[in-house]
Chains A and B, each alone.
Chain A
Amino acid sequence: MSELAIDRQIDRSKMQVSDEVAIEINNMNKWYGSFHVLRDINLTVNQGERIVIAGPSGSGKSTLIRCLNALEEHQQGTIMVDGTELSNDLKNIDKIRSEVGMVFQHFNLFPHLTILENCTLAPIWVRKTPKKEAEERAMHFLEKVKIPEQADKYPGQLSGGQQQRVAIARSLCMMPRIMLFDEPTSALDPEMIKEVLDTMIELAEEGMTMLCVTHEMGFARQVANRVIFMDAGQIVEQNEPEEFFNNPQSERTKLFLSQILGH
């Protein structure tokens, strides 16, 4: 795994971690059938934190963040997002989903809608925003991810990096308080990874609460305030990035870091 150089100064003035709790996970367990995929997860995320979750494939890191907006169901323990508990109550789930943005590995844009329609759909139907206002907001965020000129095209006409930036803009249009990233750069060509990371960094600079499952260790080092290492469905180690990379404690973490950074 490469460590992509981030060749820009990162403005940390707004990267403030507040005391307000954004996500609280207590003794959470999840099974796929009889397979125990997440084991006794405890995690508290404060407003403004930038957390990178790393780990080998199959370690449950994607499943963990997918539990946070109920794309996956957990069987034991509690998850509180922005003060609302994730239960089977569909109203709670829809409320949380509209507050939590999610960016997927494969973008999951809607191919039958234009870029602009992708961005305005949820605000119009879920938030009942008037169409004109939703479009203005969509253009604002498309400008932010630097592709306003593509607004009338369809996702299939854009490059992977552009599609992922649209996906980020689409999430932002719902004005989320928390953003989840599920391997946002894993399906991209090296040339396009940088443009997506730049967008994510800008988001961090504005103080967004972010949870990122990613293999981009450069991003973890320079943007995250906390790195969580998972293996076999549990949190093995978490620390500030400097400490995590330079002075890993567990043997499993050392092995993982030596494999992804070692050459």
Chain B
Amino acid sequence: MSDVSFVRTEMLPEQAPPASEVGLIGWIRHNLFSGWFNSILTLVSLYAIYYVLSGVLPWVFQSVWNANSLNECREIMMATWGSTHGHACWAVINDRWLQLLFGFYPSHLYWRPIAALLLLLVALAPVLYSDRLPTKMLIFSAIYPFLMVWLMWGGTIWGPIAAALGFVVGWGVYTLVSKQLSGLFGLIAGVAASVIWWLVLSSYFVGALDSILPIGIEAVQSRQFGGFMLAILLGVVAIGVSLPIGIVLALGRQSDLMIVKYLCVGFIEFIRGVPLITLLFVASLLLNLFLPPGTNFDIILRVMIMMTLFSAAYMAEVIRGGLAALPRGQYEGADSLGLNYWQAQRLIIMPQALKISIPGIVSTFIGIFKDTTLVSIIGLFDVIGLASAIRADTAWNGIYWELFAFIAALFFVVCFSMSRYSMYLERKLQTGHH
């Protein structure tokens, strides 16, 4: 009889884990006091948190909300707490918050940027929550960019309509030509037709229709734009436009067509090799040297283009990382079923590559959104530029922390939302068995 012989006759049932492994006590033991070293770290961290909060919380909450100048603020502090130290003077925000949000946008027209922001949320909703909302809402998302431009800048309604018609013209020419000749010719002809429409024909179209049927709202000049509104405007445009451009650049970089490939590589490497601030200076100063005198090329539009290109170059590299992470088998699987290049990219490759790239894409989004504050250096009154202007005012000369704390809070809300959304999206797209 061999003593290694063993046969199990009944399978063991599952049992509840011991009390020290579950519940609050189990959690504390595991996460905070799992050994003497971790226990010390826990205590030190708790003290650090206490130290920081004990300094910050009184500053935030024992503060002055109503005053007309920094001096008045200080008098109130002395009267209330007997010291000006350790108390915030939120009165500056109370006094100037509209300016920090809207810049020099005419105050009787504030409803327009607010409406644009609310409609932005409506336009974004079907994109962000595509599984919960009807696809038909995307029609509004397509109209929104033109509506937004009209709301923000005002003027005749025929301008944005003419801009939108440029896409229609391009699409029409593309379908006509690609039926007659090849798809590539159609694409080139379509793009050419759109460009000709925008640069040459649309101004006559707008002029003619405006003289017949002048529908419009009060125009607002670009130099009146500013504040956090400007950051959102630049950020939304740069984010929204750079993603498709980035996808095209990433695909171009992987292309077998030599010229396309090296054009994309050259563009990406050049833009990534140059600081954003130099691109912004090019937009604000140098571009005027190259344009014919008297051309009115809107400064905000120029900045938008530069920020978009900058963000697109980074986006292309992030997406290329996602493409590189896909196994070759996915391309072969798509090929073997007879899907053509664009079908394979759209249905198989991009959905997966973009999903892999979500953290990188959102980091780039957040980065470019915060980089919009750099426009203060080329003289646009974004929220940082306005903070400097407010500090230059004699009433608030010397105030510092409160303004930047407010600005930080504004940016944090938006960036943190983007970050949380990306985590939601990653969870939603998770299809493995984890």
Mark contacts of B334-352 with chain A using CB atoms, 8 A cut-off: 1 yes-contact digit, 0 otherwise.
Answer: 1111111001000110011
Asked if A156 is at the interface (CB within 8 A of a chain B CB), the reply is yes
Nearest CB of A to B346, in Å? 9
Asked if A197 is at the interface (CB within 8 A of a chain B CB), the reply is no
How distant is the Cα of A100 from the Cα of B338 in the complex, in angstroms?
9
Do B329 and A97 have beta carbons less than 8 Å apart?
A: no
Interface size class for chain A? 20 to 34
24 pairs, CB–CB < 8 Å, chain A vs chain B: A94-B338, A95-B338, A97-B338, A98-B337, A101-B336, A102-B332, A104-B329, A104-B336, A106-B327, A108-B327, A108-B329, A108-B333, A108-B336, A110-B330, A110-B333, A110-B348, A111-B432, A122-B337, A125-B343, A126-B343, A154-B432, A157-B431, A171-B337, A174-B338
Nearest CB of A to B309, in Å? 30
Do A97 and B336 have beta carbons less than 8 Å apart?
A: yes
In the complex, besides A112-B352, A126-B337, A174-B338, 17 extra interface pairs with C-beta distance below 8 angstroms are: A70-B335, A71-B335, A94-B340, A95-B338, A97-B335, A97-B337, A98-B337, A104-B332, A106-B327, A111-B431, A112-B351, A112-B429, A121-B337, A121-B347, A154-B432, A156-B433, A157-B431
| Interfacial chain B residues near A71, Cβ < 8 Å | 332, 335-336
Question: Please, which residue of chain B has its CB at the minimum distance from the CB of A90?
Answer: B340
Asked if A109 is at the interface (CB within 8 A of a chain B CB), the reply is yes
Asked if A137 is at the interface (CB within 8 A of a chain B CB), the reply is no
Do B431 and A154 have beta carbons less than 8 Å apart?
A: yes
How distant is the Cα of A156 from the Cα of B430 in the complex, in angstroms?
10
How distant is the Cα of A69 from the Cα of B330 in the complex, in angstroms?
16
How distant is the Cα of A110 from the Cα of B334 in the complex, in angstroms?
9
Interface residues of B (CB under 8 A from A): 327, 329-330, 332-340, 343, 347-348, 351-352, 355, 429, 431-433
Instruction: Give the residues from 220 to 251 in chain A that come closer than 8 angstroms, CB to CB, to chain B.
Output: none
| Interfacial chain B residues near A165, Cβ < 8 Å | none
The B interface is mostly helix, strand or loop, or mixed, namely helix
| Interfacial chain B residues near A215, Cβ < 8 Å | none
Name the 9 nearest CB pairs between A and B, nearest first. Answer: A98-B338, A108-B333, A122-B337, A156-B432, A102-B336, A97-B338, A154-B431, A108-B329, A126-B338
How distant is the Cα of A167 from the Cα of B199 in the complex, in angstroms?
52
Nearest CB of A to B377, in Å? 43
Nearest CB of B to A112, in Å? 5
How distant is the Cα of A202 from the Cα of B351 in the complex, in angstroms?
35
| Interfacial chain A residues near B327, Cβ < 8 Å | 106, 108
How distant is the Cα of A33 from the Cα of B340 in the complex, in angstroms?
26
Nearest CB of A to B221, in Å? 47
Contact residue among B332, B347, B431 (Cβ-Cβ distance under 8 Å from A125): B347
Asked if A50 is at the interface (CB within 8 A of a chain B CB), the reply is no
| Interfacial chain B residues near A156, Cβ < 8 Å | 431-433
Contact residue among A95, A106, A154, A174 (Cβ-Cβ distance under 8 Å from B337): A174
